[in-house]
Amino acid sequence: MPGDPTALVEQLWAQFLPLVHERVRLIEEVAAGGGDVATAGRAAHNLAGSLGSYGRATASSVARELDLAFTAGVPDQAWLTDAVRRLREGLEVGRA
Amino acid sequence: MTAVQVGRDAPHVRGRRALVVDDDEMVVALVRAGLEGEGVEVVTAADGREALDQLARSVPDVVVSDVNMPGMDGFALVSRLRAEPATRSVPLVFLTSRSHADDVLTGLALGADDYVRKPFELTELVARVVAKIHRPPVPVDTLVRDVRTGLLSASRLHEEIDHEAGRAARTGRPAAVAVLDVAERDQLVERFGARADDDLAVQVAQRVGVHLGSALDRVARDAAGRFLVLLPESGPDEVRTRLTRVAEALAGERLTVAGEGVQVTPVVGWASLDPHPGPGAAGPGAAELVERATVAADAATLHLDLQPVRWTPALAGTTPPAGRRARPSRAARLRTVLGRLRTAWQIALTLLLGVVVPFAVYVGLYELAGVDVSRPLYLVVVGALLLTAGAIWTEGFLALRATRPPEEPASPPPPASAVIAAYLPNEAATVVETVESFLRQDYPAGLQVVLAYNTPRPMAVEDTLAQLALRDPRLLPLRVEGSTSKAQNVNAALAHVTGEFVGVFDADHHPDAGSFLRAWRWLSHGYDVVQGHCVIRNGDASWVARTNAVEFESIYAVSHPGRARLHRFGIFGGSNGYWRTSLLRQVRMHGFMLTEDIDSSLRVVEEGGRIASDPGLVSRELAPTTLAALWNQRMRWAQGWFQVSRKHLLRAWRSPALSLRQKLGMTFLLGWREVYPWLSLQMFPLVAFMAWREGGADRLDWLVPVFVLTTLFTASVGPGQTLFARRLAVPEIRRQPGWFWRYLLVSSFVYTELKNVIGRVAQVKELMGEREWKVTPRATAPAAPTTPAVVATPTVTEASGAR
């Protein structure tokens, strides 16, 4: 495949950005007291697995925290709200 | 991908194939892009089960798999990969999460060749995968432990046994080796696919650990799936007591296979480690001890009485040696080979009759009499193909107008009965679950459940059924002595049936909760029989089962209701059909008919009876999971239909009770059905003749509008049927769009013609009087020595339903 790896990753990132935001929204729903915990946990797990590989190190690190928290049970809502905020900030920072 | 910058020094991998397995499409897309950049072809799967489907189609050069996936995870996938000869050496790279560090060790222990932690650098991942394509994988035989079950590998346990044998010889302390198997294992794998073996292994291993009071370090699973157990420091009495405890505990528990409750019969054999082999003599080695215990376990399968059998020299030679239990004798193998040759010869004969003979006749007439019959015959064939295609499309459109029973019954529901016909050795594992699903029916007026079964030998499950009947008087287990067919079982049950109407079922059926009430809505409004919709519930077991699942939707949700509307009569398909008891008592089932169900329906219709077809009257059943089992089933159905057609076509025309439309329907159902497999071939000799006449196929004008239109129209039937099936399927099957696409491909290119071949060969077999039915797929089950491998009459489970 011609081209450099960064360009390729960024191209795919643009394609998947709506999916990333959808996953964040699923977690946000649980933070707001609604949503489905299992679905949100799965979303956190997937974000933890993919964000870093797309070069989003900061967001990836928050997603890993979320993944672990969901694995341990239902995370505290206040903590979850803060984590979602940090996740969004991490996504805005962009490629690290 | 220069992205991955491994290209310069990387081995050439262009055209090699990778299977990427991950439930996260973002990861899949990234890995795919990276590998495709290196010229590697990529196929993908969203979980282990999809990956197994891909692997069944073709074996890739490397597998890249996530660990944590819903459904079948990466560990289960690698276990299966390493267990199959075709895939055991395919390199596998795990993508493991940083959050789950243990996954790395587990993955490597299970046979992964490498791992990359998520998040990963694409360049590193691609470099590792590319390298793996060229490097030899981890040899599977060096694996020590199966993490799914926590058991040792067989080779590791052999080392332990040798070690223990040495110690026994030195210290004089006794010990033993046992082999434990589940008698129904082959049947369950046949029904639910390979995952049944995994499900069983996990649960049996757990219970062996608990009830044997032995650490799992001394339990292994061999390549055939049996459990090997080392019992150190145990004398014969203690060994017998402990093994009996395990067998009884396992037999008393309800295990879960493919989500279904099953009861199993453990079979246990064991052999002592001789602590006193004599001066200068070496005791038997591990392989010999395991062999002895296996021979003893084989002997236990002849009794199925939960008693562990100890190996003695007298046992040698009385049972087949280890690993050959399921292997038939030389004479039986010869019969099988001859049977296959006979079928191959019959296929050739049908091609000779259907293609070569007509071609020779056309040429002969042209050469000798100057008569060219190709033009009128061409039009006849085109007309026939169009008629068939048109009828199928019509059935589909008629099925779209949903057939529903009247909203309210004409009279309050009366007492009802269910008759479940079973050949017990084939159903032992699941029959209790089936009976319980009937006892859970939501029917307000009282439902009697008669389990009418035949069995060549006493079965442990008969005691369980008797206990169940004591607790719930609605159940009547009825052993039909001397029965060899479903027809005999159903007829015998009728003597005990107390319901005003009766639902007839095979033993793998689970009807929907309100089925009996729904059936009564038809019967109370003047119908004599109502045939429900049979839905396949083991579609995930294999591609054959999936094909069947879609085909059944095409049959029960489309063809049956469409045909009932078109021809003005329905038919009883053998199971999930509800009869007025008084009528069934008059009509009975005739065991001498191969498809006694179709025969009985036609006798009802010929007498003016009304049979409805209701796609909303759902019962779920199991499909054959292997091509051989499917072939046998369909051959039996096709031969049965031919037998029924010969008996009933003229009777239908003579029947004063049938309208002209119904008679035409009978002609289509019975006559056309038998002629069509031959007609479908006729274009070949005709075109061959025309090519011969014109001096070459290139001189034919292939773009004749009639030819093109006919081809297009007949080719539209497959997609049309699939579309109708998808539109009308029950939700759980409709949720599997992939199954429909594959069905479309399989049916367009292979399956339809396969059924035509079967239709033609079945006629030859019937005319030759060939009536030997293999009792596959369940003949592989442990059988009493008196049970023949081939029987002259169809068994209950095999003769069920001609659809």
For residue A17, pLDDT over 50 is answered with: yes
Average pLDDT over residues B604-610: 94
| pLDDT(B738) > 60 | yes
pLDDT at B545: 93
- What's the CA gap between B96 and B98, in Å, rounded? 7
> What is the average pLDDT score of chain B?
84
Q: Does A34 touch chain B (CB under 8 A)?
A: no
Looking at beta carbons, which residues of chain A come within 8 Å of B30? 9, 12, 50, 53-54
Say if B30 is an interface residue toward chain A (CB within 8 Å).
yes
Which of A9, A57, A64 lies at the smallest CB-CB distance from B99?
A64
CB within 8 Å: A50 and B33:
no
Minimum mean pLDDT range among B217-221, B276-280, B565-569: B276-280
Question: Between the ranges B58-72, B353-367, B424-438, where is the mean pLDDT highest?
Answer: B353-367
Taking CB atoms and an 8 Å cutoff, what residues of chain A touch B23?
46
Average pLDDT score over residue span B583-607: 91
Pairing of strands B151-153, B255-257: unpaired
Q: Do B122 and A49 touch (CB under 8 A)?
A: no
Note the pLDDT of residue B79: 80
- Is residue B66 less than 8 Å (CB to CB) from chain A? yes
Q: Which one of B118, B121, B123, B125 would you mutate to disrupt binding with A, by most A Cβ within 10 Å of its Cβ?
A: B118
How far is B645 from B377, CA to CA, in rounded Å?
A: 25
> Over 70: is that where the pLDDT of B335 sits?
yes
- Cα separation, B190 vs A49, whole angstroms: 37
Contact B99 A48 (CB under 8 A): yes
- pLDDT at residue B327 is higher than 60: no
| Segment of B130-144, B295-309, B428-442, B664-678 carrying the highest mean pLDDT | B664-678
Q: Hey, is the C-beta of A33 within 8 angstroms of any chain B C-beta?
A: no
Q: What is the pLDDT of residues B546-558, one digit of tens each?
A: 999 999 999 999 9
Joined together, the tokens standing for residue B310 give 């100890």
Cross-strand bridge partners of residue B178? B229, B270
> Between chains, do B29 and A54 touch, taking CB under 8 Å as contact?
no
The residue in chain A having the minimum alpha-carbon distance to the alpha carbon of residue B125 is: A53
- Please report the pLDDT score of residue B776 as a whole number: 35
A12 touches chain B (CB under 8 A): yes
Instruction: Please give the pLDDT value at position B777.
Output: 35
Using the beta-carbon criterion (under 8 Å), do A49 and B123 form an inter-chain contact? no
Tell me the domains of chain B and their CATH numbers: 2-140 (3.40.50.2300), 146-322 (3.30.70.270), 328-371+406-803 (3.90.550.10)
Three-state SS sequence of B491-523: HHHHCCCCCCEEEEEECCCEECCCHHHHHHHHH
Chain B CB contacts of A49 under 8 Å are: 24, 27, 66, 95, 97, 118-119
**Tokens 């008969």, located at residue:** B462
Least confident of B11-20, B41-50, B293-302, B741-750: B11-20
Q: What band does A35 get if pLDDT is binned at 50, 70 and 90?
A: confident
At B372 the pLDDT is 93
> Who wins on pLDDT, A94 or A80?
A80
Mean pLDDT of B240-263: 84
Contact A54 B26 (CB under 8 A): yes
- Element (DSSP H or E) covering residue B202: helix B195-212
Task: Give whole-number Cα distances, B278 to B33, B163, B205, B551, in Å.
Answer: 68, 18, 36, 66
Beta-carbon contacts of B592 under 8 Å, excluding residues fewer than 6 positions away, are none
pLDDT-based confidence at residue B803 (cuts at 50, 70, 90): low
Instruction: Say which residues have a Cβ less than 8 Å from residue B744's Cβ, sequence separation at least 6.
Output: B718, B719, B722
**Probe site for chain A from B1, B23, B26, B117 (most A CB atoms < 10 A):** B26
The pLDDT tens digits of the residues spanning B74-103 come to: 888 888 887 776 677 788 999 887 556 677
Minimal C-alpha gap between A37 and chain B (Å)? 15
> What value does the mean pLDDT take over residues B695-704?
81
Q: Does A79 touch chain B (CB under 8 A)?
A: no
pLDDT above 80: residue B316: no
How many alpha carbons fall within 13 Å on the CB side of residue B521? 16
Which of these ranges, B35-44, B52-61, B292-301, has the smallest mean pLDDT? B52-61
pLDDT of residue B790: 29
When pLDDT is averaged across residues B660-666 and rounded to a whole number, the result is: 95
Nearest CA in chain B to A6: B3
Residue of A nearest to B14 (CA): A1
Q: What pLDDT score was predicted for residue B642?
A: 95
pLDDT digits (tens, 9 = 90+) for B198-234: 788 878 887 887 777 655 458 888 888 889 998 887 8
- Domain residue ranges in chain A: 5-93
Q: Is B95 on the interface with A (CB under 8 A)?
A: yes
pTM exceeding 0.90: no
Q: For residue B3, list chain A residues with Cβ-Cβ distance below 8 A.
A: 1, 3-9
Closest-CA distance of chain A to residue B23, Å: 8
